Structures are given as C-alpha cells and as structure tokens.
C-alpha cells in the first residue's frame, strides 16, 4: 500500500526524459551557483589577483601569453632570487599557466579579445563548475544520480573549497580539485568496468594533475592504497589488474614528462607505494593464472615457493634501496605530516607558514557546516553496502580526515570526500522517507487478501497496478522517488513486502521538512561565510566607516607603484620572502627572496640582515647590491600581519644557519616577553627591522603617547635613528615603508661616523669634528 497516491498514466520514456531534463537543469543551476558565489571579491572590490602565490602564477601566465609556450618552457628569470636567478620552467607545475594560455588563445581565435588578467581571475570560478560536474559523476558511481546531484550542489557552494577558489585566487588548487575528482572518477569507472580505456583516461588526467599541483602525491598514494586494501579483503579481480596496471604504466611514464617531477617517480619514497603495488599485482595475477591450470595441492607448493618469496624479496629490495640511498627518503614537507613535531624542530620555514598549522574544531564547522556530522553517517551508509568503489571513499575519508586535522590547508582535499559521503548519506535518508510504500503488516495483508471487496476501489486499483505492471505506471513513478533503474522495478516490487518502513504521511513530512530546513541553513551559512570570510583580496584592506560606507586601505599598491615608477629598472629590493612575488608582480623589480622557498640559506641571509644591527646588516646589503629595503608595518592602523609579528620567524630561520651570531633568546626581555616598548631587549632595539619599522613613528603623535596599535604597547618618545639607510617612501597609512640603502661615504668614513659628523656639525658648530675612521 502507498502512503500517497501517484499518477499512473505516465510512460517510462516520459519519465526517463523528464528525469534527465531535471538533472541537466539542476546541474546547470548548480554550476551557476558555484560560479556566482565566488564573485563576491570581484563585485565588492575589483578584478585583481589576490594573495601572494597567485602573483607569480599570473606573471608566468603573462609570459606564456605574450611570448608563447616555448619561451615559457625555457624561461630563466634573472629578476628573482638575485643574484642566483631562477629556472622557472624546471621549478613550477605548468598546468595552471598552460590551461589559462590555452583558454586565452581559444578566446582570441574566436575574436573575443579578453585580457589575460581576467582569464586568470575567473579561472577558478569556471573550474569550480567543472568540479561540481566531476563530483556528480563520481558520486553517481557510488550511489545514483540523485546522490550525485546532492554532492554536486554541496561542493558547488561549500566554503572549504570556495576558500581556495574565489575569483582572483589564481592558484594551483583552482584546477587541481577538478582534476583530482575526475581522476578518481575515471579510476572508479576503470575499476568497475575493467576497461583499459578508463585506465588510460585516469592516467591522462593524472598527468594533467601532476602538471598542475604538487598534491598529486595524494592520488599517487590513494589509488595504490585502495588496490592494496582490495587485495587484503580478498577482492582481487582481473578488472582491478587491468585498471591499476593501465593507470600506473601510462600515468607514471607521463608524470615524468613534467620537468619539476623528473625522475622522482622512480627515485623517491613517496612514489614507492604505487610501484610496490604494481609489482604485487603482477605476482597475484600470475598466481591466479597458475591456479586456473593446476590442482590446488600443486598450486600451494608453487604459491609458497615462488609467489610469496617474490613478494618478500621485492619488499626487501625496496627497503635496501632506501637505506642505500638509491631511493630518496620522504621529503620534509611530507614527513611533517606523519611526525607533526618535525617541521617545527628542523625546518622552521615550513612551520612558519600559517596554513601548515593544525586545524581547530571551529574551522571544520565553519568550512563544512552540517556536512561535518552528515559525513560520518554517509561513511556508515557506504559501509553497509560495501562495494569495491565504496572502499575507496572510506579510505579517502580516513586519510583525508587525518591530513585535514594535521594541516589547515589540507582541508581542501578532505572537502570533496565530505561532500560525496554526506550526499550519499543524505540521499539515503531522503530515499527512505520519500518512498511511498508502507510496510505490510501481516494481518492487514491477510484481511485484504481474504475480503478484497471491502477494500476501497482506489486502493485496490493501486495495489493491482503495482503488482501487475511493475515496469509502467507506479513502477516508473517509484523511480522518481527512489531513483532506481526501471529494470530494478520488479525486484523492488518483491521487496515491497518488507516488514520495515515508514508509516503515514506525517512522519515523512516531519523528517523531510527538517532535511529541507537543514539544507536551507547550509546554503545561508555557505553564502555568509563566503561573503564575510573568504572574499577579501589581501592586496587591499577594507574597513567600514561609522556610517557603514567602505573605507579601502590601498597602501600595498601605492608603495609597489611608487617602486615601479620612481626607481631604476634594475633596482634590487630586499624584503621578507612573503612579499617577493607581489613585488615582482606589481612593482616589477628585482627581489632577493620570494615565496618559492627553494634556497633556505638565501632566506636566512635576509633574515640575518633584518635581525642584525645596522653595522652588521650594511655589508650584507652592499654585497647583495640591495638598493631598497621594504618592510610592512601595521602599528599605525592595527594591521596585524606585519613584519614585527613575523620577526621571530626571521630570527629563527637566521639562527638555523648562523647559530652563533643570531640567538632567539636575545630578542626577548629578561622575563621572556616579546616587547617593542622601552623594555625591549637591546638586540631587538638595535635590529634593522625594529629601526626601520619605528623610524620617525614617534613624530606622528606630536609629543603625546606613542602607541603601537598591533602590539598595544607604548613606545619611547625618542624613536630609533638610522645611519645606513634613508627613508625613501612611506605609504599613506604607514603600512609599507621603503628605505634606500646609502652608498659608501665618499671620504671613506663609515656611515655612522659620517652621519654623526653631519649632525654634530649642525648642532654644535664649535666642537671639533669626530675623528675619521677608515672603512674596514
């Protein structure tokens, strides 16, 4: 019997057509929502590149668009890492730039002359629509189309993914998540059908992923792990062999074409799991072949002698190669995922990045909202029908959750899995409560069977139709509800006699209404988080005036533009590495270090110059031909991400290289506090960073109390003086301060005494000049 009546005069083809139309429209709307929810930053501010890394990607893409692909491939950038330079072609993942370059060329071939900047800005929203589609395809393989639509809707707007893909965030992750999902989809499809075609497609998208993002190592280890777990569960099939081997053989060879990856797939430990499983699968497949030819007794002989010994030998060989140094051990970046204290102890430059910190609970809720608690339920649902592809999602859930707990930025790789599992769980719930069939209680059935005349005509008709024509009418409408295939109608009809189920319309309505409300709140939450937390371009700082209007602080671009227009073209600018890409991108000047932290010693050199007294720093600056030094100072308007707050990392990184010249404890007060006021330690007050940041700062307060609004501390009325640097530029809100490095004194004095001489002469004319000292 049915809880609510269904129309009975619809043909199956009408149903199929309507369902596919609904799906197409829904996917179109999801794409539109995914794109438009990422445009807050463009609408509120302007169409510019955000953050730090995207500025390099943008600069490289400009080279690709203006000079062509071959120039880009062989590009040596002499303006970064002065005086070393950087081989860009061999040290980047070119997938992102190549994608934008292809789009640029296609649009120009179609006579749509779009600026390369707009392509870069809008690439991430565009690809988020593809991600929604790929997630739909992936989830479709897990459950059915309706779960796929839910998953697509979730990933379209979930803040965990939006945070890395708003318009203007032109980073590798923008296209990588799409490639991740599509590679996984192709892998699942290859595993299900056992088709080498899908294995090849998985390998090609894996290649694209390798070219696009360093996170490809996640795929490289997820797929072998899945295959391995299937082997352990005794679920080896020939389909697994076909899928895995075609993926691995083509995928590995193709991944080595990316210059940055090179021979890593055969030389490093991160890739050895894939190779090991590849070897293991050959052995298992071989054993299967033999088993089909001999009796089980003989097979056991063969198995124990040859197969197991081969596996053990292979394992031993790999361990030996690792110890011998033929295979490189885990790199620090990966190793710090397992040993979470490792980076802090040995590689401060990894630990210094804020994205590499552990995740706090609120940020899980902030990024995923109700998916946080639907996710475990979805995984549970997947456990109950444990098909081969469900094992994949379960492993992904476990690994992804662990990694997201260790590192904030890996929340991004967890998000797709959360969306898929939650969608499966939620769609299971909706299926159950939308199903119009009610459980048949034994006595009622008997009664109906016995006295069919008492049954109402409509009920009787419905029942008759259900039993007689499962493929049409009610059977087809059932499909709308539970979205099983038409062919499944018969089977379902049998299970309609089930003893468990939902009674009545009211229970259904209560649960479905709650679900709909949760979904609604999810949308509201996502929109709110996206507009408030993730859509601010860090290049311009926005604050609101008392009357609600927006006040834009645009000091960064003011200063970079000053550098661009008022300095020599080959002037060298020294700053902390955070700003390297932005200076190169916006000011177009030579930098010493940038966000690509490939040379730790060079960064430590900058750190040492920043944290030493002027006399020590000056020779370093001169040796590196530095013309300008740029510092970020937020003390006037309370911008907390300034260089004084990052200063301790500079000290630590410098200390790692020169432990006897720079010591971190020297920068604290006696009580071990980090202070900038008159109690600050001597090393702190003498450091170049302190002097540059607070130079002439006291003058702003006209003799009143000098307050640093970030540290909330009162500074001495007498500010620091500079002998070796001249203030060249200070932006409107004092955020960016640029100092010019003085040339050596013409008379050969060191600059401190020359300065003292000049000042002394002005103040006290009668006194004899300070004794000249020859520069050492």
* Footprint of other proteins (CB under 8 A): 193-197, 199-200, 203-204, 237-239, 241-242, 245-246, 248-250, 252-254, 256-257, 263, 266, 282, 285-286, 288-290, 292-295, 298, 301-302, 305-306
Beta-carbon contacts of residue 559 (< 8 Å; ≥ 6 apart)? 587, 630, 729, 731, 735, 736, 738
Query: Based on CB atoms, which residue is closest to other proteins, 287 or 421?
Result: 287
The span from the CA of 118 to the CA of 676, in Å, is 43
Measured from the CB atom, the residue of 247 and 522 that comes closer to other proteins is: 247
Q: How far is the CB of 194 from other proteins (least distance, A)?
A: 5
Task: Report H helices in 533-611.
Answer: 555-566, 580-582, 600-611
Distance CA 111, CA 92 (A): 31
Instruction: Count the neighbouring beta carbons within 10 Å of the beta carbon of residue 471.
Output: 13
Taking the complex as a whole, how short is the minimal distance between the CB of residue 266 and other proteins, in angstroms? 7
Alpha helices in 47-115 (DSSP H): 53-67, 69-73, 95-109
The nearest distance, CB 261 to other proteins, in angstroms, is: 12
> Which residues, including other chains, have CB under 8 Å from residue 104's CB and lie 6 or more apart?
65, 114, 116, 119
- Is residue 296 classed exposed, middle or buried when 0-12, 13-18 and 19+ CB atoms within 10 A define those classes? exposed
Place of tokens 């088993």: 291
DSSP string, 592-650: S--SS---HHHHHHHHHHHHSBHHHHHHHHHHTT--EEEEE--TTTT-SSSHHHHHHHH
- Cβ-count burial of 226 within 10 angstroms (0-12 exposed, 13-18 middle, 19+ buried)? buried
Residue 486 beta carbon to other proteins: minimum distance, rounded to whole angstroms:
19
Residue pair 644/633 in contact by the 8 Å Cβ criterion: yes
Contact 184, 392 (CB under 8 A): yes
> Least Å distance between CB 271 and other proteins?
13
- Least distance (Å) from other proteins to the CB of residue 302? 6
Instruction: Return the structure tokens found at 586.
Output: 């916006």
CB closer to other proteins out of 251 and 416? 251
Least gap, CB of 17 to other proteins (angstroms): 25
CA–CA separation, 251 vs 273, rounded Å? 14
Q: Whole-number minimum distance, CB 327 to other proteins, in Å?
A: 14
Structure tokens at 76: 């040596």
In this complex, which beta carbon is closest to other proteins, that of residue 304 or of residue 561? 304
**CB-wise, 221 or 252, nearer to other proteins?**
252
CB of 243 to other proteins, least distance (A): 9
Give the nearer residue to other proteins in terms of CB position, either 257 or 601: 257
End-to-end CA gap in the chain: 100
Smallest gap from residue 281 Cβ to other proteins (A) = 8
Residue whose CB is less far from other proteins, 192 or 460: 192
Question: For 540, phi and psi rounded to 5 degrees?
Answer: -110, 140
């Amino acid at each position: 019997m049915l809880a609510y009546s269904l129309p009975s005069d619809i043909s199956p083809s009408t149903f199929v057509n309507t369902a596919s139309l609904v799906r197409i429209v829904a996917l179109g709307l999801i794409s539109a929502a995914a794109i438009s929810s990422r445009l807050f930053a463009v609408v509120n501010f302007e169409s510019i590149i955000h953050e730090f890394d995207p500025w390099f990607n943008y600069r490289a893409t400009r080279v690709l668009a203006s000079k062509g692909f071959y120039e880009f491939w062989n590009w040596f950038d002499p303006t970064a890492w002065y005086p070393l330079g950087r081989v860009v072609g061999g040290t980047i993942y070119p997938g992102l730039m190549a994608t934008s370059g292809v789009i640029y060329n296609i649009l120009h071939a179609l006579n749509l002359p779009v600026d390369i900047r707009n392509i870069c800005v809008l690439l991430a929203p565009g690809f988020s629509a593809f991600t929604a589609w790929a997630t739909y395809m992936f989830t479709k393989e897990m459950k059915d189309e309706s779960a796929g639509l839910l998953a697509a809707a979730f990933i379209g707007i979930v803040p965990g993914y939006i945070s890395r893909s708003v318009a203007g965030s032109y980073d590798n992750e923008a296209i990588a998540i799409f490639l991740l999902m599509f590679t996984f989809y192709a892998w699942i499809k290859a595993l299900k059908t056992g088709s080498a075609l899908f294995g090849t497609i998985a390998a090609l998208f894996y290649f694209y992923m390798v070219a696009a993002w360093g996170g490809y190592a996640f795929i490289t280890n997820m797929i072998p792990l899945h295959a391995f777990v299937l082997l352990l569960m005794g679920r080896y099939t020939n389909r697994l062999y076909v899928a895995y081997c075609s993926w691995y053989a083509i995928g590995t060879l193709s991944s080595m074409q990316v210059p940055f990856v090179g021979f890593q797939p055969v030389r490093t430990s991160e890739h050895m799991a894939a190779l090991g499983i590849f070897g293991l699968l050959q052995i298992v497949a071989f054993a299967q072949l033999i088993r089909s030819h001999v009796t089980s007794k003989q097979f056991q002989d063969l198995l124990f002698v040859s197969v197991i010994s081969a596996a053990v030998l292979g394992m031993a060989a790999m361990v030996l190669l690792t110890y011998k140094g033929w295979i490189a051990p885990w790199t620090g970046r990966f190793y710090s995922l397992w040993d979470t204290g490792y980076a802090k102890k040995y590689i401060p430059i990894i630990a210094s990045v804020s994205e590499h910190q552990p995740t706090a609970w609120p940020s899980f809720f902030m990024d995923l909202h109700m998916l946080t608690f639907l996710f475990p339920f979805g995984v549970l649902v997947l456990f109950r029908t444990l098909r081969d592809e469900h094992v994949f999602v379960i492993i992904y859930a476990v690994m992804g959750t662990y990694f997201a707990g260790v590192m904030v930025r890996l929340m991004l790789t967890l998000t797709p899995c959360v969306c898929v599992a939650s969608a499966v769980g939620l769609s299971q719930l909706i299926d159950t409560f939308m199903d119009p069939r009610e459980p048949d209680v034994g006595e009622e059935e008997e009664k109906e069977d016995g006295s069919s005349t008492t049954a109402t005509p409509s009920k009787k008709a419905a029942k008759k139709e259900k039993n007689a024509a499962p493929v049409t009418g009610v059977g087809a409408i059932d499909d709308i509800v539970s979205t099983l295939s038409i062919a499944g109608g018969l089977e379902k009809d049998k299970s309609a006699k089930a003893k468990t189920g939902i009674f009545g319309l009211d229970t259904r309505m209560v649960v479905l209404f709650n679900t709909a409300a949760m979904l609604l709140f999810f949308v509201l939450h996502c929109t709110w988080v996206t507009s408030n937390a993730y859509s601010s371009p860090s290049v311009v700082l926005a604050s609101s005036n008392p009357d609600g209007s927006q006040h834009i602080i645009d000091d960064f671009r003011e200063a970079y533009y000053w550098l661009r227009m008022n300095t020599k073209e080959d002037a060298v600018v020294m700053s902390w590495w955070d700003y390297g890409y932005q200076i190169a991108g916006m000011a177009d000047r030579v930098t010493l270090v940038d966000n690509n932290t490939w040379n730790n010693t060079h960064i430590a050199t900058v750190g040492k110059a920043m944290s030493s007294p002027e006399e020590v720093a000056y020779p370093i600056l001169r040796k590196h031909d530095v013309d300008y030094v740029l510092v970020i100072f937020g003390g006037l308007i309370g911008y907390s991400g300034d260089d004084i707050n990052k200063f301790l990392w500079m000290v630590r990184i410098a200390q790692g290289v020169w432990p006897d010249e720079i010591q971190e404890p020297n920068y604290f007060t006696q009580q071990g506090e980090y202070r900038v006021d008159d109690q600050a330690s001597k090393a702190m007050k003498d450091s170049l960073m302190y002097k540059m940041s607070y130079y002439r700062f006291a003058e702003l307060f006209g003799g009143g109390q000098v307050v640093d609004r970030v540290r909330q501390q009162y500074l001495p009325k007498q500010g620091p003086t500079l002998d070796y640097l001249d203030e060249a530029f200070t932006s409107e809100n004092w955020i960016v301060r640029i100092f010019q490095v003085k040339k050596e004194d013409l008379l050969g004095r060191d600059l401190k005494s020359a300065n003292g001489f000049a000042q002394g002469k002005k103040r006290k004319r009668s006194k004899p000049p300070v004794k000249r000292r020859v520069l050492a």
